[in-house]
Chains A and B, each alone.
Chain A
Amino acid sequence: MTLTPDRVTTWTRICPVDRLIPERGVAALVDSEPVAVFLLDDDGSGEVRVHAVAHHDPFSNANVMARGIIGSVGTGEDYRDTVASPMYKQVFDLATGQCLTEPGVCLSVYPVRLVDGHVEIGHGAPPSGP
């Protein structure tokens, strides 16, 4: 489960959107927590899509998720945007944080919004696991 926007108490501004490289991640510090932030290509909707999940890789126990490769699995209903851990290559659903290759493991997911061309990440009560 994710921290839902209505439980957000604070938004942290991390950088201008154009500081992000399309289809790659950067690490950011949000309320002292390392967060991996990814800018996805426009999927045709004209919407800027940014995802934020925990930077900590539960499998290697190192903060590396922002350095993973973006991708997708499935088509149609089953389509998911994903990130693969650069260490041991487990694949995670960017929207839910669920690990798709070793089910049962989950990354925290953070709400993201864009204000004045800047990326802001929400936090409040500590982000919770599933």
Chain B
Amino acid sequence: MDEQHTVRRRLVVVGGGMVAHRLVEALTDRDLDGAWQVDVFAEESRPPYDRVALTSFFSGRDPDDLLLGEPELWHRDGVRLHTNAAVQRIDTERREVHARGRRFPYDALVIATGSYPAVPPVPGSDLPGAFVYRTVDDVTELRAWATTRHLKRPVRGAVVGGGLLGLEAAGALTAMGVETTVVEFAPRLMPIQVDEGGGEGLRRLIEKLGVNVRTATATSKVRAGSNGRVNRMDFADGSKLPVDLVVFATGVRPRDELAREAGLPVGDRGGVVVDETCATGTPDVYAIGEVACIEGRTWGLVAPGYTMAEIVADRLLGGSATFPGADTSTKLKLLGVDVASFGDAFAESPGALEVVYADPVAGAYKKLVLSDDAQTLLGGVLVGDASAYASLRPMVGQKLGADPTAWLLPEGASAAPAADLPDAANVCSCNNVSAGAIRCAVSEEGCTDLAGVKACTKAGTSCGSCLPLVKKLVGSELEKSGVAVSNALCEHFELSRAQLFDVVRVQDLGTFSEILERHGTGRGCDICRPVVASILASLGTGHVLDRDTARLQDTNDHVMANLQKDGTYSVVPRVPGGEITPQGLIDIGQVASDFGLYTKITGGQRIDLFGARIEQLPSIWQRLVDAGFESGHAYGKALRTVKSCVGSQWCRYGVQDSVALAIALELRYRGLRSPHKIKLGVSGCARECAEARSKDVGVIATEHGWNVYVGGNGGFTPRHAQLFAEDLSTDDLVRTIDRFLMYYVRTADRLQRTAAWVEEHEGGLEAIADVVIDDSLGIGADLDAAMACHVDGYVDEWAATLADPEKRAQFVSFVNAPDTQDDGVGGAIDNRGTVIAGPTLEVRR
């Protein structure tokens, strides 16, 4: 190979934000020859994260969950991310940047430094207790400030700025229990996105949520109390407002200071001036994202920034992409209120007509802007109910067809004409994905489901507001290409697990033969049989070893132990909440010792005994049952454990008795069969020592009760559980978990853990909360009854087995030579003699 090829060109990226991330991802995805060595300098301490989702930090999301893309990106060959590394200077003469006291040469330089929050020059805006809202550090400080004031009354806060960002900040404050006032200089909220009518509707909805709104109000001063901290705001009209904190959300300015010093031209209102290829006038220097001034203006949204990143990636690899213009459409949920604005929202096009639907009582305001012949959609504003946004936005510039008012009526909203959408229509504005690209992903790239299309096109991966539309497009395209959109369980059942669950429940079917006869074909298989076993078990029908269910069970469920690689089994007695007496430990130890079993403490706070032969299981269990133990269901798709920290009984910090609750929950849900294993955790205070948020259901004690989080798991794709309900009493908590679990058991797919179920559930976590907490489907009582039936019907499977000679007789090595040991199982113990506990084998020290 010729020498030139092996020398990589050096790309330096200044700034490690959202747009820089997209640039590196796009470039390295396509730079297959490794032409570029990429160095990213990031001032913040974290790898690029999803700033758009910053507010979710307040609903309990871990900052690490906000990180963008695959962490593997930063380990790709030729990619280096320098965090805590602000660039101090750009030297375009010598083609190098200064950071961390060193110089780094570049062959190409990309400035992606984003913006900083612009704080108006109000006296006192820098006092302790005054905040901005831009970075993870900002929100971390804000939260600490708001939650550690020990006042005898609620904390009071003000947000200066009633725009998008200000309302988000107000939502965050309210969520922390702060009494919040939004102060806006303009005569209405969100003056940039919505018109007067929309602003009025928004105000009403927001006030209903207990947030005070003051429009047309100028702040003249922030005053400190005797402790030097913020305690009052003074307004231009002479009025005052007592406050404990102030958040400034008054717009952003491009961080163009390095560029200015380097002599690069900046726009009138700031921003590094670039042409339609994102190039500055200086060779090999580009600017992208919020810091770039393109077509004479800067963009405070992520979508245009992503487009610029793609352009520069393309240019660096020899392409010729140019900036196609950007879309300012926005849809958000602020304090639970939907707001969307798109296209020509202010009807500025000549001759534009407006069609308005307003329902002041419900607080809904919707407006479409149409061309002068009332045929073509130009834009619109939706406040209160923005469900039509996903369908309408891609229609901008298209003929609306039917009576436009139909789109505005509450029920017309979801009439998404996905099939008719022209290929050119932009469906995902964050990532600039057209309807055509989505169709193509299905018809040509061979994607067969939503997840595949998301991965392939990136559609729906940023703000997610277009997902319903993407889903419809994928569905109709799959149908068109003849792929039946199948959620069939396997070749024997056309139905999905959830559908099968329903028919079995409604038709009251009790045996596999009946179910197969009515709804399936063939004899079933190792996929559908265990699913039916689990459904029957969830509905409370029979023992796992009963003759008809026996045929359905995976060997684990059949022998009530976990098959290991050498054909032996492991045995796990239940240790509710991880609490065990000294005698219990001795009994388990004695059993392990007598049967020569290897012992290991599990992650679920109990003890796993390995190396049991099938014929030993009844004698082992006889001993365990006699000592007071019961099945731990480690073998089942069922409740596994409720892990707990030691809690208020011992811990200096504990605020509730986490162990007692964990035991109660474990005893309540033990034996509950489910689509996948279920784990719970309970921590006695916010320090979270039980790692409850890595569980399907995590409970964390608060001063007032319990917070419950759902949808977490460890494993291959770890997920943090998300906050579901706060400060519940123990009774409310138990009912919430009852319903959540039962609803999951009934409606999830085979082997779908709660995290995936929540994600795939129409409407996500909120919709599940509607069902579970607000009983929107009216099935609450039914779910409660089903759980009560489970709790009442519980029997220990192992005790039942031991009591039944016919069942017990099934545990033999050979049916015709029950006393002969099978040499074809049990290699693991012999091979690892040094690590085995037991009388014959030494324990490793």
Contact = CB atoms under 8 A, between A and B. Distances in A.
Given A28-B814, A29-B816, A34-B822, A71 B567 contact: no
Given A71-B522, A91-B525, A63 B824 contact: yes
A63 B525 CA distance: 21
A56 interface: yes
Interface residues of B, number: 38
Contacts of B563: 64, 67, 86-87
B526 A71 contact: yes
Given A62-B567, A87-B565, A28 B816 contact: yes
Contacts of B523: 23, 40-41, 70-72, 81
A91 B559 contact: no
Nearest to A85: B526
A62 B824 contact: yes
Nearest to A82: B525
A22 interface: yes
Given A27-B814, A37-B815, A62-B824, A84 B526 contact: yes
A69 B559 CA distance: 13
A91 B525 CA distance: 9
Nearest to A60: B565
A123 interface: no
B567 A63 contact: yes
A68 interface: yes
- Say whether chain B's binding surface is mostly helix, strand, loop, or mixed: loop
A23 B551 contact: yes
Contact of A14 (B492, B559, B816, B825): B816
A22 B513 CA distance: 12
Contacts of A113: none
A96 B552 CA distance: 23
B525 A84 contact: yes
Interface in A25-66: 26-29, 34, 37, 40-41, 55-56, 60, 62-64
A73 B491 CA distance: 8
A59 to B, nearest CB: 11
Given A34-B824, A73-B525, A15 B555 contact: no
Nearest to B521: A75
B526 A34 contact: no
B566 interface: yes
Nearest to B809: A19
Contacts of B567: 60, 62-64, 87
A37 B553 CA distance: 17
Interface string B791-821: 0000000000000000000101111110010
Contacts of A12: 816
Contacts of B547: 21-22
Contacts of A14: 815-816
B827 interface: yes
Interface string B681-721: 00000000000000000000000000000000000000000
B535 to A, nearest CB: 16
A27 B565 contact: no
B815 A24 contact: no
B727 interface: no
A42 to B, nearest CB: 11
B169 to A, nearest CB: 52
Contacts of B824: 34, 55-56, 62-63
A13 B529 CA distance: 31
Interface in A73-95: 73-75, 79, 81-82, 84, 86-87, 89, 91
Nearest to A21: B550
Closest A-B pairs by Cβ, 9 of them: A63-B824, A62-B567, A71-B525, A23-B551, A84-B526, A86-B555, A72-B523, A72-B522, A67-B555
Interface of A: 12-15, 19, 21-24, 26-29, 34, 37, 40-41, 55-56, 60, 62-64, 67-75, 79, 81-82, 84, 86-87, 89, 91
9 contacts: A14-B816, A15-B815, A15-B816, A21-B550, A23-B551, A28-B814, A62-B824, A64-B563, A84-B526
Interface of B: 491-492, 513, 521-526, 529-530, 547, 550-556, 558-559, 563, 565-567, 614, 810, 812-817, 820, 822, 824-825, 827
Given A29-B816, A71-B524, A89-B526, 15 more contacts: A13-B816, A15-B815, A21-B550, A21-B810, A22-B547, A34-B814, A62-B824, A64-B555, A67-B559, A67-B563, A69-B525, A70-B551, A72-B524, A73-B491, A86-B554
